[in-house]
Amino acid sequence: MQVNAMPEDMKGNYANIVSVTSQERDVVIDFLAHTRVGDQQQAQLVSRIFLNHFTAKELAEVIQKTLAEYEKMRYEVPKK
């Protein structure tokens, strides 16, 4: 599949907080960038994604698989 993207979209965005809510038809994922300025905490919405439940389940499965592979690679004792 060919994916088209604008150059400004290719740079990506940083998020260190995620909020997931479920509605009757969709799952809504909000990505936020959290910062602390002095005693004040702030969060800026970086992106909001709407997924149908089928796609949200696929995403969850892919993330779980990817993290399991990462943990295995990072924490597995090398074989001699």
Model pTM? Answer: 0.76
The Cα–Cα gap between 45 and 18 comes to: 10
> What is the chain's pLDDT, residue by residue, as a tens digit (80 residues)?
998 999 888 888 999 999 999 999 999 999 999 999 889 999 999 999 999 999 999 999 999 999 999 988 887 666 66
Determine how many CB atoms are found less than 10 A away from the CB of residue 23: 9
All structural domains of the chain? 14-75 (2.30.31)
**C-alpha triplet 14, 69, 12: angle, nearest 5°:** 15
Nearest-angstrom CA–CA distance, 47 and 30: 6
